[in-house]
Amino acid sequence: MPLNPFDLTDQTVVIVGASSGIGAATARLSSELGADVILVSRSMDKLEAVRATLPHPEKARSIAADYLDREGLEDSFSDVGSVHHIVIPAVANENKKRGAFTALSVDTMRASFDKFWGQTFVVQALSQHIMPSGSVTLFASVAGLKPSGADSGLSIMNGVQAAVMQTGRSLAIELAPVRVNVLAPGVVLTNVWTGEQRDDLKSWMEATLPVRISGEPEHIAQAAVSLMTNPYISGAVLPVDGGLHIS
C-alpha cells in the first residue's frame, strides 16, 4: 500500500467533460495527486482555460472531441498511448430534456439517451488503450436509484441514469480485470443550473439534506479519485448526494 493511497503519480487519467463542473474539479484533483491528465470536451478554448488552472498544467494536454461521434473518437484518441483511468462526466443540455411524460417529443426522448451513448462510445474507443489495472468511472445520477418526482419532468432521464448504472455493472464483468464503477451524484452546484437555481438549490440542500451542506463539484471529484485508486472497488454504483437517496 503506497504512503498516499490516492497518489496518481505516473498514471494517465482521461476525463471526458473536463471543461466544466465535476470534470474540471476531477482534473484539478487528479493533477494535484500527480496524474498526467488528458482533458476532453468539445471546446479546446474551454479545456485550455481549465488546463491553465491545474497544479501541473505541463503534465496535462487537451483534446477537443464530441463523445457522440463514435468514429471521430477513435481518431481523437489514436495517440493517447496507455491509459490508467477514464472518467466520463460529460453531459449536454440535461435540463432541457425535462417535460411532462405525455408531452415529451420523440426527439427529446431520443436525445435523453445521448449521455448513455456518449459514455458507451468513449469506453469502446479507449478499450484498446486502458491498462488491465485501470478503471472506468461512468456518470449517472442518484435519480437512477430514487426517481425524482412527477413535477421534475425527468421520467425518461431517470431511466437513462438507471441504464448507465446497469451497463456499468455489466462492463465491470465483461472488461475485468479493468474496474468499472458508476458515480451517482445528487444535486451539485455547477453550470447545469442557472445562477438563480444554484442559489435556491443551495438553500434547499442546507435546510433539508441529511448532511446540511450543498453539493460541490469537489465532493464528486473526491469520490471519483477514490473509485480510480481503490483496487478493490468494481461494479459499484456510488451515490454522492448528501444522503438525498435515503431522505
Contacts with ligand NAP by CB under 6 A lie at 16-23, 41-43, 46, 66-68, 89-92, 94, 115, 118, 139, 141, 185, 187-188, 190-192
Distance between CA atoms of residues 224 and 221, nearest Å: 5
Distance between CA atoms of residues 51 and 24, nearest Å: 9
C-beta closer to ligand NAP: residue 9 or 124: 124
113 and 140 Cβ atoms separated by less than 8 Å? no
Least Å distance, CB 4 to ligand NAP, is: 26
C-beta closer to ligand NAP: residue 187 or 227: 187
Least Å distance, CB 226 to ligand NAP, is: 16
13 and 87 Cβ atoms separated by less than 8 Å? yes
Residue number with the smallest Cβ distance to ligand NAP: 21
Distance between CA atoms of residues 162 and 168, nearest Å: 10
Least Å distance, CB 43 to ligand NAP, is: 4
Least Å distance, CB 15 to ligand NAP, is: 9
C-beta closer to ligand NAP: residue 7 or 206: 206
Which of the 8 DSSP states describes residue 148?
P
C-beta closer to ligand NAP: residue 187 or 223: 187
210 and 18 Cβ atoms separated by less than 8 Å? no
Please choose, from the candidates 57, 52, 62, 55, the residue with its C-alpha nearest in 3D space to the C-alpha of residue 18: 62
